[in-house]
Amino acid sequence: MKTQYLQRMLIGLGLTMTLAVPWVSAVDRYVAPNGTGGGTSWTDTHSNLIAMVALAGDNDTVYVTNNAKYYLTNQIVVGNAITVRSWGPGGILDPTNTIIDANYPGVAVTNRHFMLSNYWATLAGFTLTNGWDSSYETDSIGGGSIYLKYGIVTNCIIMRNHSIKLYGSYNRSGGGGIFMGLDPVHSGGVWNCTISGNFNGNSGNSSGGGIFVYRGTWRIANCTISGNTSQSGAGIGLSDGGAAGGGQTIISNCWVVSNYADWYGGGITLYPASAQCHNSFIMGNTAGTYSGGGFRTGNGNLIRNCLIANNSNSGSSGAYGGGIDAGSTVIQNCTIASNAVTAGVGGIYIDGSAMLENTIIWGNKSSGTYSNWNIISGANTFTNCCILPQIVSAYATAVNTITNDPRFISTTDFRLQPNSPCINAGTNETWMIGAKDLDGHQRIDQFGRQVDIGAYEYLAEGTLFVIH
């Protein structure tokens, strides 16, 4: 049953749903660009994808043949609990060869690809390109390609879409690729997607070149988010609507690379108090004018098991945190390295009461005074961190810090050498039981049984004998 299949997918992302979709007989519908029939089978395909989605009821599936490009004249609204998916050889998803083109500038003003507005709606296996959203609306919506009110997007390539709409002076209508948000509790997820080359050009501190999350409980997992552009949060932008409306967004196992923000958060801007980022690579992103080449965070966020490297601020002044511009954020077992600013703070800039644990902050660069860190307020704690210079600040305390070179394998490979002082030098926490590092190794290995400092766990070679 489709409902059971979707429940399994959502449970895999850590989501729970309180709604149930009543089971009715499912109908399969079939779409091909040269179809001339009613869409009842592959020998009776329909050519109009919009029409087939409109006919589909709860539990139906709309299959779309691959090796084809479909042009839209208006967005597709998915209001029922249906699956819309590509069909490649043997029934596999084929996003590379199943292309939906929203036809900008052939269709002007607003022509995004999809709006999903059902908890159980699923979109799978497409390339979505040339979407455009430029209307002025009174609702908090956006998205150049997808407005994800509720639902699931998986195994899609979302590329070269634009959002330049306005919503008064509020930061509520971003998302060059995807806009996510409405209900504070039950929402959905985006996973196994590539989101690249999208542009959010909204005026007034707009956010989310790739993805913008306004409100809700979302999982963004196993995605590559690259080459997107926005004023803030060029890869992923989260607004304070998430905190005001409840819910929680978790980003995990993602590559957020080579995005560009004019102002803040070249990679990710986290502002809802409950937002988290786990086991992700935040690399090669740039903030142009102000702060947070890799991250800009607010208060109450969690960043864990992440590599934040080779990010930058390109502005000549006010460049706070080539790696991270942090508020009262918890940062655990991260490596913050080789980030750079023209002036300001190369590694991490803290204005709040942050807690850093088992984290390496090393080899960051600035032409100014502060290469690795600067703290200007709050009651911050550093526990079992590797950082230089030693933490001496009226706004921070440090316990068991290491100021020796962590001995990375190279300036591009931030794993630890066998003689690293960071091996078995961290402090163990309960969350590490069963947790993995960036290489998928156990966070607490069976040899040393002590966590390493940084995003990678050094795996010693040898044989472990267990004697009972």
Tens digit of each residue's pLDDT (9 = 90 or more) over 188-197: 899 999 999 9
Average pLDDT, stretch 8-36? Answer: 64
Residue where the block lists tokens 């001339």: 36
Retrieve residue 241's tokens. Answer: 């609507």
Q: What is the set of domains in the chain, with CATH numbers?
A: 1-278 (2.160.20), 289-468 (no CATH)
The model's pTM = 0.91
Retrieve residue 131's tokens. Answer: 């979407």
**Segment (H or E) for 466:** none
Position 446 scores a pLDDT of 76
Contact 82, 58 (CB under 8 A): yes
Position 342 scores a pLDDT of 84
**Among the ranges given (35-49, 91-105, 240-254), the one the predictor scored with the smallest mean pLDDT:** 240-254
Retrieve residue 186's tokens. Answer: 């039950």
Position 172 scores a pLDDT of 57
Average pLDDT, stretch 165-175? Answer: 60
Contact 338, 371 (CB under 8 A): no
Contact 243, 274 (CB under 8 A): yes
**Among the ranges given (1-5, 84-88, 412-416, 433-437), the one the predictor scored with the smallest mean pLDDT:** 1-5
Band (pLDDT 50/70/90 cuts) for residue 95 is very high
Band (pLDDT 50/70/90 cuts) for residue 467 is low
Question: How large a percentage of the chain has pLDDT more than 90?
Answer: 68
Task: Please provide the size of the chain in residues.
Answer: 468
Whole-number average pLDDT of the chain: 87
> Degrees (nearest 5) of the Cα angle 456, 462, 466?
105
Res. 19: pLDDT tops 50: no
Quote the radius of gyration of the chain (alpha carbons, Å).
23
Q: Are strands 122-124 and 224-226 parallel, antiparallel or unpaired?
A: unpaired
Band (pLDDT 50/70/90 cuts) for residue 216 is confident
Band (pLDDT 50/70/90 cuts) for residue 457 is very high
Per residue in 305-325, pLDDT (tens digit) is 999 999 999 876 667 899 999
Residue 235 to residue 163: CA distance in whole angstroms: 14
Position 344 scores a pLDDT of 86
Average pLDDT, stretch 456-461? Answer: 86
Res. 8: pLDDT tops 50: no
Question: Which amino acid is present at 420?
Answer: S
Retrieve residue 14's tokens. Answer: 């850590």
Residue 371 to residue 118: CA distance in whole angstroms: 48
